[in-house]
Structure 1
């Protein structure tokens, strides 16, 4: 009776580096899908980002340990935003800043962001939306909804993502559809 060696060894987390042009090609594909009305494929892109976000959380935990820090859930609230930004920047994603919007909603402002680089208006960061949902869902040990919003004063190459529970961000989305600014909707959620 033979035993497979690979079945006995733990699978190491792997990361693949892709050039920024990957996102340009992905954005062109998204544009074509939208033009053709194939919105189910857009969900598939978000879902791929979600799976990557869950794996990215594992990489973050490993990175924290290498830095001599505690596990993600145990990092002090004051240090977490700084460590998250340092990690994402070191991974080549860009800069990220957590900003409270209300008691129930956080914003994650990103700049020099890989997926937002050269982004055409209205295309959005589908991979990043899924990535953050997977990452922060693992951190919270609960489903986290992520909504990309477009503040009027946001500079090119920057994006803002709202993070909150599914119910809260569904409320915010519905309010936005009625013309209510997300800040007001988040404050009343």
Structure 2
């Protein structure tokens, strides 16, 4: 009697819609853990959530590439600089994330302002998934590691957040400057 083992069928990329309350529940689980996780697991949980966001960001880039093709647009790497921000905002909004606006802060640092953002709220801890999501998404776009740092947006209204995008070295410089009390805008301009 012989047994044959067949290779698993490839899984097509797909998207699952979750209610926005998912983000609130996830943040509460991370920032207010119970039992044994309360002592050691919060930092590891935060990293795990960002890592999950990173993997999702890489997959989201694939969805963006398909969406661009469906819109009759050039591939993301070939888009004209003036078209990319508009198309990115249209895509993210259509996917239910919210509104996004790219704002150059310097030659090396870009800000991404989001509003009506699914994950942004009044809970502590910021947008953990989105931080990883943007690192994965923009890293795929740049074909290089991209670092993402969430900072206080100019308007702290609920549903708003600001993310800085840049190379790992540049955002490390910005972070170190911020730790010394230098505003991120000034640090970004000198990066």
CA distance in 1, matches of 2:4, 2:12: 23
Who is 1:27 aligned against?
27
SS at match of 2:101: strand
Superposed, which structure 2 residues align to 1:58-137 within 5 Å?
Answer: 58-116=62-120, 118-120=121-123, 122-137=124-139
Do the aligned partners of 2:52 and 2:129 also contact (CA within 8 Å) in 1? yes
Who is 1:12 aligned against?
12
Q: What is the CA-CA distance between 1:11 and the residue it aligns to? A: 3.6
CA distance in 2, matches of 1:15, 1:3: 29
Match of 1:155 among 157, 164, 182: 157
TM-score (norm. length: structure 1): 0.91
Match of 1:170 among 159, 169, 172: 172
Q: What is the CA-CA distance between 1:56 and the residue it aligns to? A: 0.1
TM-score (norm. length: structure 2): 0.90
CA distance in 2, matches of 1:3, 1:124: 46
Do the aligned partners of 1:48 and 1:130 also contact (CA within 8 Å) in 2? yes
Q: 1:90-143 CA deviation, whole Å, 9 max, x = no partner?
A: 000000000001110000000000001x332x4200000000000000000000
Do the aligned partners of 1:49 and 1:129 also contact (CA within 8 Å) in 2? yes
Q: Structure 1 residues 170 and 88, CA, compared in 2 at 3 Å: closer, same or farther?
A: same
Q: Structure 1 residues 36 and 113, CA, compared in 2 at 3 Å: closer, same or farther?
A: farther
Are 2:181 and 1:183 aligned?
no
CA distance in 2, matches of 1:5, 1:180: 55
Match of 1:138 among 131, 140, 143: 140
CA distance in 1, matches of 2:157, 2:122: 12
The alignment covers a number of residue pairs equal to 185
Q: 1:63-115 CA deviation, whole Å, 9 max, x = no partner?
A: 00000011110111100000000000000000000000111000000000000
Do the aligned partners of 1:27 and 1:119 also contact (CA within 8 Å) in 2? no
Identify which range, 156-165 or 33-42, moves more after superposition. Answer: 33-42
Q: What is the CA-CA distance between 1:6 and the residue it aligns to? A: 5.2
